[in-house]
Structure 1
Amino acid sequence: MGDGMGRRVREATAEAPPVPGSGGTFRRWTALAALAEEDLSLARLCEGHFDALAILDELDGPRPRPGEVWGVWAAKPDALTLDGGRVSGVKPYCSGAGLCTNALVTVGGDLYAVTPGTPVPGTWPATGMAASDSRDVRFDGVPARYVGPYVDRPGFHHGGAGVAAVWYGGARGVARRLVGASDPHARAHLGAVDVALHGALAVLREAAGEIDADPHDRKGTAETRALRVRAHVAAVAADVLDRVGRALGAGPLSHDAAHGRRVADLAVYLRQHHAERDLAALGARVDGRDW
């Protein structure tokens, strides 16, 4: 990771947005979307830091210090073992592996606060999201402080819905390349993209309002809402990628480095949505009463 990205992350995380459910969830998501439109790797690193702060707030964990950059490294929950208050093993997909000063890691279904271990060279040979530095990290008996459950809390679903705001911002960044198109077919694609992005924004705004109205999920709707929001925005972002590519052809992908990087980054980031697996999980919860 270059010094420029690290510096930009520290600038962007100097002031945290409102935590989900505090009355400012949509402001939080619009801030994430703006970062994603600027650079999806930047947004990924900032989203991880802000998610960690929200988790620590929700679970009364340790209070982060100024200047710290936190990550949430939750992939492969069984990758780490705990022995005598220390974690060992190799954790994959650790965004900000060389940047984060602190991290929340999963061991089974629980979260522990740690100082990062050692990034494993050569474990993030990615094209899309390359600057997120999501290398594997090796832990060899690193002290770990128990924080609380990872999944079994309302904030898990609120945070999952918030990732969709990052996808939305990334799609918005890709779509900018179409604005001002003179070709009638490109304009038709731009019109369709405009409709899709406005729909995604409306879904995010409604979901944010629902979270603020029921932050502790007393209605039991948080998981269904998160699945719906993520599926909707992921579909919109995929449609934007397809339409912009069809409208503009190979030229911008071949000769506009910034646009090509945005497209590659978004294609990778969208795979955090688990496609039909997530749709099946949603389908299992649907009874049709709120259609």
Structure 2
Amino acid sequence: MQDDFSKQVAGLPLPGSGQTAERWWRLASLGRDDLVLARLAEGHADATAIRAELKDEPSADPDSERWGVWAAVPSSLEARRTEDGAWSVSGDRPWCSGAGSCTHALVTAVAEDGVRLFAVEVREPAATPLDDTWPAVGMAGSDSRTVRFADCPARPVGGPGDYVGRPGFWHGGVGVAACWYGGATGVADTLLAAARTRDLNPHALAHLGAVDGLLHTARLALRDAAERIDAEPSADAQQLAVRVRTVVDSVATQVLDHVGRALGAGPLCQDAAHARRVADLTVYLRQSHAEADLAQLGTLLKENPPAW
């Protein structure tokens, strides 16, 4: 199923297209069923949006391509340009989700004129996923190994700084939060199913009520963000995105706690799908930066006070 992740997001509306909410609900639906698939599909969808926003050349056979966005630790790759104008990238890039299944990727690298974004084809020996570099339990199926680039041919996408300087950078960040929300609803499904099929004690039912309120809050935050982005797609969305990500991170973390306290160890030890979903969501949420994100939001609020 993971090999088909690009098909799962075929026809997905682009952020700011007037259908941003549909984009996020579809990503959330994938996350509810399978967070690994959602992670890979979100990367492919984000690559599609980035390439459209930066006016990259279209693919010759898009249906056969599976893209990732491997932009963590920009300084880990170096970009060089030859006298004839051709680019290549070299170095080890960690956190490459879909290392063994992506056919192409967008990578950041340091060039003489700054940090640039490049499109690369993932093919050995120019791009080699390294064994034993993803010993994870949670999100194990995302295959986020380190990839070693050795003079890998690269095509520039946009100019220096364009990747992080565009409004869509923050739109993509909210798309990740939509996947977290979907994963949290999947964890909550186990508690809801237990409540519907057996008599739970009042404490467990209280946890279910708390979970419902939390998920409602996250859904409203995502919906509000979608409406704001569609209304002003070119506006700076940094504050909005960081706020939504902190809300969904907090909600999902609390959902994990409530469901665990309500049902105890049973589902974690005897329900493989639930245990895997809990492990996957726990790891995926750490794509946020916790208190660092909160501090960033506080700094942004000093310059642009909130509506409340």
- With normalisation by structure 2, the TM-score equals 0.90
| CA distance, structure 2, for counterparts of residue 125 and residue 63 of structure 1 | 35
Local SS of the residue matching 2:119 = strand
Root-mean-square deviation (Å): 1.1
Q: Which amino acid aligns with 2:216?
A: H
Alignment partner, residue 12 of structure 1: 8
1:77 CA displacement:
0.4
The aligned residue for residue 84 of structure 2 is: none
| 8 A Cα contact 1:91 1:138, kept in partner | yes
Indicate the residue corresponding to 1:229 in structure 2: 244
Summarize the alignment of residues 89-108 of structure 1 with structure 2, pairs less than 5 Å apart: 89-108=91-110
Matching of residue 22 in structure 1 with residue 22 in structure 2 = no
**Aligned partners of 1:166 and 1:106: how far apart in 2?**
23
Match of 2:53 among 58, 72, 81: 58
User: What are the within-5 Å matches in structure 2 for residues 152-191 of structure 1?
Assistant: 152-179=165-192, 180-181=194-195, 182-191=200-209
Helix, strand or coil: the match of 1:61? coil
* In 1, Cα distance between equivalents of 2:232 and 2:181: 23
CA distance in 2: counterparts of 1:238 and 1:99, whole angstroms? 29
Residues 161-215 of structure 1, C-alpha deviations (whole Å, 9 max, x = no match)? 1111000000000000111422211110000000010111011001000000000
Instruction: Give yes or no for the alignment of 1:290 onto 2:285.
Output: no
- Please name the residue that 1:70 is paired with: 67
In structure 2, the gaps of 5 or more residues are 82-86
CA contact (8 A) 1:16 1:50 kept: no
* Partner-residue secondary structure (3-state), 2:99: coil
Kept after mapping to 1: 8 A contact 2:90/2:149: yes
- Amino acid of the structure 2 residue aligned with 1:78: S
Report Cα offsets for 1:221-241 as digits up to 9, x if no partner: x10000100000000000000
Q: By how many angstroms is 1:10 displaced?
A: 4.3
1:63 shift after superposition: 1.4
Which runs of no fewer than 5 residues in structure 1 stay unpaired? none
Deviation (angstroms), 1:5: 2.4
Kindly state the Cα deviation for residue 289 of structure 1 after the two structures are TM-superposed. 4.5
Structure 1 CA distance for aligned equivalents of residues 273 and 284 of structure 2: 16
State whether residues 241 and 263 of structure 1, in contact with CA within 8 Å, keep that contact through their aligned partners in structure 2: yes
Report the Cα offset of residue 110 of structure 1.
Answer: 1.8
Cα 1:161–1:118 change in 2 (3 A) is: same
Please give the alpha-carbon distance, in whole angstroms, between the structure 1 residues aligned to 2:250 and 2:107. 29
Larger Rg: 2
Give the one of 239, 246, 261 matched to 2:276: 261
Hey, what's the Cα distance between the residues in 2 that align with 1:142 and 1:191?
53
Report the residue type matching 2:185 in the other structure: R
* 1:30–1:165 Cα contact (<8 Å) kept: yes
CA–CA distance in structure 2, aligned partners of residues 261 and 289 of structure 1: 38
Residue 128 of structure 2 aligns to which amino acid in structure 1?
T
Q: In structure 2, how many angstroms separate the alpha carbons of the residues matched to 1:260 and 1:33?
A: 19
Q: Is the 8 A contact 2:119 2:155 kept in 1?
A: yes
- Letter of the 1:251 counterpart: G
Q: 1:235 to 1:280 in 2, by over 3 A?
A: same
The CA distance in 1 between the partners of 2:11 and 2:41, in whole Å, is 9
